[in-house]
Chain A
Amino acid sequence: MKHIAIIGNGISGVTAARHIRKLSDHKITLISAETEHFFSRTALMYVYMGHMKQEHVKPYEDHFWAKNRIDLKMGFVSKIDVSNKKLIFESGEEMPFDDLIIACGSKPNKFGWKGQDLEGVQGLYSWQDLELMEKNTQSIDRAVIVGGGLIGVEMAEMLLSRSIKVTFLVRESRFWGGVLPKEEGELVSRHIKSHHVDLRFETELQEIIPDENGRVKAIKTKAGEEISCQFVGLTAGVSPNVDFLKGGAVDLNRGVLVNEFLETNIPNIYSIGDCAEFHQHPTGRRNLEQVWYTGKMMGETVAQTICGTKTAYRPGVWFNSAKFFDIEYQTYGWVWAEPKKNEATLYWEHADGKKCLKLVYDKNNHSFLAANVFGIRLRHKVLDYWIANQTKISQVIGQLEDANFDPEFYENSFPAIKQQFQSQIPQTV
């Protein structure tokens, strides 16, 4: 029986712990400086908006951990003593380990803006960030959010639930422009604006201006405009939370460098989730994958290796999801913001401008590659099968309704979608 220490009790570390327990009798310790029990990070916004309380966002009941013999340790690891295989905590405590999994997640990006550390300026990632946001947004009426991505739009929804007016600065010419193609980006942008968010495109932050007490009172854009506000949300992405490893024996780039087995350069030390960076991604995707789902998959994978079945990380067809105010979004396969040379796209949008479906296929062999969908729910299993098996686009269109996952009695848009798409694909397909 060996002792496996896991730094971080987010989805990656917890998934690894659960699977190691399923596969073995090893002693497992989950270490966190954030909260005693695992909570769903993606649900932070719902706690702020009053949909749920902390107890509701814990995926497992509190007795789960003792029952599954997963020890919980509250504390902040300040150093890894690689040669003696032990962790050294900020408090001075030490903890020996046989295997170590680094799953310490990310922190919000700060790009060295003037005033980025003022009171009232923050990102949103951790439970502490949520508590800080609660404190920072008491009795204020105006906020600015910097960075048009998923956390930014969540933060806008959170602030609006408390009647705080929001100005949203986006560097690109449409919302989430680095990821969403034009039509989808415009659909989301329209919806965000319809919730009375002051959405500014091609606008970047120059500096954050303090009042006499060192609290934010305004921001200035690169174009020189000053916008007064009492809160600034920094949501321009996240980066690996690896400062405590700097100068140590574990190799770092932006994150903890790992191979396809999620092994670091030091034997018996692994890294998974947001903080892990591949030398070369096993399936050619980006070397940093900072989403819930991949964290979970890496946890499943590393558990196999640690328990004796050496297993490479081989994620299948990419998928992701989000919700922008009232519009749900799912994506399957990789839809590029600008189609690749070999790609052709089909786009349908509902007359209400709140639902759309984009299909991407290969121009040459006509196989189905990817889909973006807004306001309609699609069945993961079916999309995964079509993409993995390079199903022909004509067949996908013909069977599109098999993928419908909307609740019963919902308006069925599929006949209209099929009709439009069938007229748009080449007759020879």
Chain B
Amino acid sequence: MTKIDKDIALVSGPPKDINTTQKIATLIGMSGLLILVLAAFNVNFPNKGVWLTIALSAIAGGIILYSKGAYGSKQEGIKNDGVWFKSISSRGFWGWIAGIAMTGFYIVLYFFPALLGLHPDGENTGVIALFDPLSKALSGNAASQWFVYGTLYTVAILAFGIKFMWKYRHNKYERLRTFSVMFFQTGFAFIIPELMARLNSDSFSLPYYDLKNVWPLNYYNFEQYRVDQMISAGNVGLGLLIFGVLSILVITPILTYKYGKRWYCSWVCGCGGLAETAGDPFRQLSDKSTWAWKMERWMVHSVVVFVVIMTTAVVSTYLGYDDQKYWLTKGTFLLGVVALLTILIGLLFIFRRDELKKDAKIGAIGYFAIILAMIGIHYSTGNNIFMFEAETLRSTYGFLIGSVFSGVIGTGFYPILGNRAWCRFGCPMAAIMGMQQRFFSKFRITTNGGQCISCGNCSTYCEMGIDVKAYAQKGQNIVRSSCVGCGVCSAVCPRGVLKLENGEDAGDSRYDSDPITFGNDGIKVNF
């Protein structure tokens, strides 16, 4: 009789527990977090630089050790065992606890920074004071709540980025993409702006500028104080201003045409960066229903309209104050906006009307009419901008979209709504690139003939809630505005059915691949 080897597993069961390495790693990571929490409750640490280093190293080290425990001893391949058994990743008890804790953190961060120790008129205390040494080393200034947040954000992307690369070590697309978001977060979002702040003096001052943060994600980029600062900062400032305009009007359209919006959303963007790394364990929680898709279309495009109106109002207001100061007059600017929107809507209806669903037509024409009407009201009355005060629009947008949606809900609710709720339902940048991706881009996800077995892995692990298999099982290419090109559907597919591709053309070959190879010679199936 064969002897039973009991040394590996004494008790079997669904894979939902963590192993010893992971338990130790959790302890280390939590101890780092504890230091920050203690600091937040005003435990006054001596040698703040040392304690901050210990805290951040423990958090990062804990995450990396946890990854080793999770993936180190396993062969390379898909690692989704137990995802729906673990309470953290299946909206169970720990999922809710994590969601509540993160939401609470965001509320304090955005609306009650004094609780973190921010004192604009005096010395920092609490957890913000703990970050003072690092902030002084980089920018020369004391820390703010945004510096604390930026540092933790960067540490999260780096440490969870390593975890993600470990998990997908067999997949070079995933490794490169993750390295890219780690690089852009650390360099462009964190270090460069801080160093730029060093250049500021009494006679020279640049606004805080994360160069990869493009309007309208960076909705405040063209506000008066920033534009004034850039204009008065000589060629460098002017260069930044021009770069800001070119980013959305030239660079984004070209790259989106060639590669789809993934060049930004899953390779560069900071929101995407956090979602793809720290948020990866929650990707399966996105809602795949057609109802959610409909909600998404109306919500995200409403945000686009909101940000366009708000920015137009804000810019036209300050252009109007002082005709001498700015090269552009208010009238010219408003006409320019109208012309640009007319051209875009016109192109859409001329070249892609067959692809527009009924609600897209209603939405596009309806919203276009609203924008024209608002600008028209301004022209006919001449003074009060749009029915609403520009400042009211600006502060409402900042509160509702900039803080509540992107931060509190978008990130705080990762364990409940999935990791891309902001990107999917709220991000105007994603929506604008999405429209282009849907209608004028070479990017598509190709389906491999008849090989799909409708297993559902692709849809389940799509963080944007796209029902990928609905296309794959019909042999259709996936050309969807919301796809951020993370590549995970292709990775988890057990039959090699999905491939992210930049094809030869931006039109027909994406929408209907020629007679679908389904293997059935008896009849031609074309749906």
Residues in A lying within 8 Å of B, measured CB to CB = 11, 22, 40, 42-43, 46, 49-53, 56-59, 61, 137-142, 161-165, 167, 194-195, 218, 225-228, 292-293, 296-297, 300-301, 304, 311-319, 321-323, 325-326, 328, 330, 377-381, 384, 405-411
B15 interface contact, C-beta 8 A: yes
- Expressed in whole angstroms, the Cα–Cα distance for A410 and B168 within the complex equals 13
Residues 455-472 of B, flagged 1 when their CB comes within 8 A of A and 0 if not, give 111011000000001100
Instruction: Classify the interface of chain B: helix, strand, loop or mixed.
Output: loop
* Candidates B6, B13, B80, B448; contact of A51 at CB < 8 Å: B80
* Residues B173 and A407 in contact, CB atoms below 8 Å apart: yes
* Residues A46 and B457 in contact, CB atoms below 8 Å apart: yes
> Which one of B81, B173, B522 has the highest number of Cβ atoms from chain A below 10 Å of its Cβ?
B522
* Residues A330 and B9 in contact, CB atoms below 8 Å apart: no
* Candidates B15, B86, B495; contact of A49 at CB < 8 Å: B15
Chain A residues near B8 (CB, 8 Å)? Answer: 163, 165
* Residues B487 and A407 in contact, CB atoms below 8 Å apart: yes
- Expressed in whole angstroms, the Cα–Cα distance for A49 and B86 within the complex equals 12
Shortest C-beta distance, A377 to chain B (Å), equals: 4
* Residues A59 and B499 in contact, CB atoms below 8 Å apart: no
* Residues A50 and B455 in contact, CB atoms below 8 Å apart: no
* Residues A59 and B456 in contact, CB atoms below 8 Å apart: yes
Which A-B residue pairs are the 10 nearest by beta carbons? A380-B449, A326-B77, A163-B9, A377-B496, A314-B522, A43-B455, A316-B521, A59-B454, A50-B82, A323-B494
B176 interface contact, C-beta 8 A: yes
* Residues A161 and B500 in contact, CB atoms below 8 Å apart: no
* Residues B495 and A162 in contact, CB atoms below 8 Å apart: no
Chain A residues near B78 (CB, 8 Å)? Answer: 326
- Expressed in whole angstroms, the Cα–Cα distance for A408 and B454 within the complex equals 23
> Which one of B80, B86, B170, B451 has the highest number of Cβ atoms from chain A below 10 Å of its Cβ?
B451
Chain B residues near A313 (CB, 8 Å)? Answer: 522
Chain B residues near A293 (CB, 8 Å)? Answer: 450-451, 519
B520 interface contact, C-beta 8 A: yes
* Candidates A51, A137, A292, A408; contact of B81 at CB < 8 Å: A51
Chain A residues near B522 (CB, 8 Å)? Answer: 297, 300-301, 304, 311-315
Chain A residues near B12 (CB, 8 Å)? Answer: 137-141, 162-164
B11 interface contact, C-beta 8 A: yes
Shortest C-beta distance, A130 to chain B (Å), equals: 13
Chain B residues near A314 (CB, 8 Å)? Answer: 520-522
Shortest C-beta distance, B88 to chain A (Å), equals: 13
Shortest C-beta distance, B291 to chain A (Å), equals: 9
Known: A56-B456, A319-B519. A407 touches B491 (CB 8 A): yes
Chain A residues near B454 (CB, 8 Å)? Answer: 11, 40, 42-43, 59
Known: A321-B451, A381-B517. A56 touches B499 (CB 8 A): no
* Candidates B9, B77, B487, B517; contact of A384 at CB < 8 Å: B517
Shortest C-beta distance, B455 to chain A (Å), equals: 4
Shortest C-beta distance, B370 to chain A (Å), equals: 32
Chain B residues near A315 (CB, 8 Å)? Answer: 519-522
Q: Which residue of A lies closest to B455 (CB)?
A: A43
Chain B residues near A164 (CB, 8 Å)? Answer: 9, 12
Query: Can you spell out 26 A-B residue pairs with CB atoms less than 8 angstroms apart?
Result: A42-B453, A50-B81, A50-B84, A139-B12, A141-B6, A141-B10, A141-B12, A162-B15, A228-B2, A293-B451, A296-B450, A297-B520, A301-B522, A311-B522, A317-B519, A318-B519, A319-B449, A325-B75, A326-B170, A328-B494, A330-B451, A380-B450, A405-B448, A407-B490, A409-B172, A410-B173
Residues 55-94 of B, flagged 1 when their CB comes within 8 A of A and 0 if not, give 0000000000000000000011110111111100000000
* Residues B456 and A43 in contact, CB atoms below 8 Å apart: yes
- Expressed in whole angstroms, the Cα–Cα distance for A154 and B148 within the complex equals 48
- Expressed in whole angstroms, the Cα–Cα distance for A165 and B7 within the complex equals 11
* Residues A50 and B495 in contact, CB atoms below 8 Å apart: no
Residues 322-352 of B, flagged 1 when their CB comes within 8 A of A and 0 if not, give 0000000000000000000000000000000
Shortest C-beta distance, B80 to chain A (Å), equals: 4
A-B contacts, CB under 8 A, total: 203
Shortest C-beta distance, A317 to chain B (Å), equals: 7
Q: A40-B456, A163-B15, A380-B519 are in contact. List 15 more A-B contacts (CB 8 A).
A: A22-B527, A50-B15, A59-B469, A139-B13, A162-B14, A225-B2, A227-B2, A228-B2, A300-B522, A314-B520, A314-B521, A319-B449, A384-B519, A407-B487, A409-B173
Shortest C-beta distance, A235 to chain B (Å), equals: 18
Chain A residues near B80 (CB, 8 Å)? Answer: 46, 49-51
Known: A377-B448, A407-B171. A52 touches B456 (CB 8 A): yes
Chain A residues near B10 (CB, 8 Å)? Answer: 141
B125 interface contact, C-beta 8 A: no
Residues 474-514 of B, flagged 1 when their CB comes within 8 A of A and 0 if not, give 00000000000001001100111001110000000000000
* Residues A46 and B455 in contact, CB atoms below 8 Å apart: yes
- Expressed in whole angstroms, the Cα–Cα distance for A20 and B496 within the complex equals 29
Shortest C-beta distance, A124 to chain B (Å), equals: 15
Chain B residues near A381 (CB, 8 Å)? Answer: 448-449, 517
* Residues B76 and A326 in contact, CB atoms below 8 Å apart: yes
* Residues B499 and A321 in contact, CB atoms below 8 Å apart: no
Q: Which residue of A lies closest to B15 (CB)?
A: A161
Chain B residues near A304 (CB, 8 Å)? Answer: 522-523
Q: Which residue of B lies closest to A11 (CB)?
A: B454
Chain A residues near B86 (CB, 8 Å)? Answer: 50
* Candidates A50, A140, A311, A407; contact of B500 at CB < 8 Å: A407
* Residues B2 and A50 in contact, CB atoms below 8 Å apart: no
Chain B residues near A50 (CB, 8 Å)? Answer: 14-16, 80-86
Q: Which residue of B lies closest to A321 (CB)?
A: B495
Chain A residues near B525 (CB, 8 Å)? Answer: 300
Shortest C-beta distance, B35 to chain A (Å), equals: 34
Shortest C-beta distance, B472 to chain A (Å), equals: 10
Shortest C-beta distance, B19 to chain A (Å), equals: 11
Q: Which residue of B lies closest to A294 (CB)?
A: B519
* Residues B84 and A141 in contact, CB atoms below 8 Å apart: no
* Residues A300 and B523 in contact, CB atoms below 8 Å apart: yes
- Expressed in whole angstroms, the Cα–Cα distance for A166 and B170 within the complex equals 26
* Candidates A139, A297, A406, A411; contact of B519 at CB < 8 Å: A297
Residues 1-29 of B, flagged 1 when their CB comes within 8 A of A and 0 if not, give 11011101111111110000000000000
Shortest C-beta distance, A291 to chain B (Å), equals: 10
* Residues B11 and A328 in contact, CB atoms below 8 Å apart: no
- Expressed in whole angstroms, the Cα–Cα distance for A298 and B333 within the complex equals 62
B289 interface contact, C-beta 8 A: yes
Known: A226-B2, A328-B494, A381-B449. A316 touches B519 (CB 8 A): yes
Q: Which residue of B lies closest to A325 (CB)?
A: B77
Shortest C-beta distance, B385 to chain A (Å), equals: 45
- Expressed in whole angstroms, the Cα–Cα distance for A57 and B449 within the complex equals 20
B396 interface contact, C-beta 8 A: no
Chain B residues near A411 (CB, 8 Å)? Answer: 172
- Expressed in whole angstroms, the Cα–Cα distance for A318 and B520 within the complex equals 9
- Expressed in whole angstroms, the Cα–Cα distance for A225 and B521 within the complex equals 50
* Residues B11 and A139 in contact, CB atoms below 8 Å apart: yes
Shortest C-beta distance, B465 to chain A (Å), equals: 12
* Residues B75 and A405 in contact, CB atoms below 8 Å apart: no
* Candidates A51, A312, A330; contact of B457 at CB < 8 Å: A51
* Residues A49 and B81 in contact, CB atoms below 8 Å apart: yes
* Residues A51 and B84 in contact, CB atoms below 8 Å apart: yes
* Residues A52 and B460 in contact, CB atoms below 8 Å apart: yes
- Expressed in whole angstroms, the Cα–Cα distance for A300 and B83 within the complex equals 36
- Expressed in whole angstroms, the Cα–Cα distance for A57 and B4 within the complex equals 36
Q: Which residue of B lies closest to A198 (CB)?
A: B2
- Expressed in whole angstroms, the Cα–Cα distance for A89 and B2 within the complex equals 48
Known: A139-B13, A293-B519, A311-B523. A218 touches B457 (CB 8 A): no
Q: Which residue of A lies closest to B472 (CB)?
A: A59
Shortest C-beta distance, B520 to chain A (Å), equals: 4
- Expressed in whole angstroms, the Cα–Cα distance for A57 and B469 within the complex equals 10
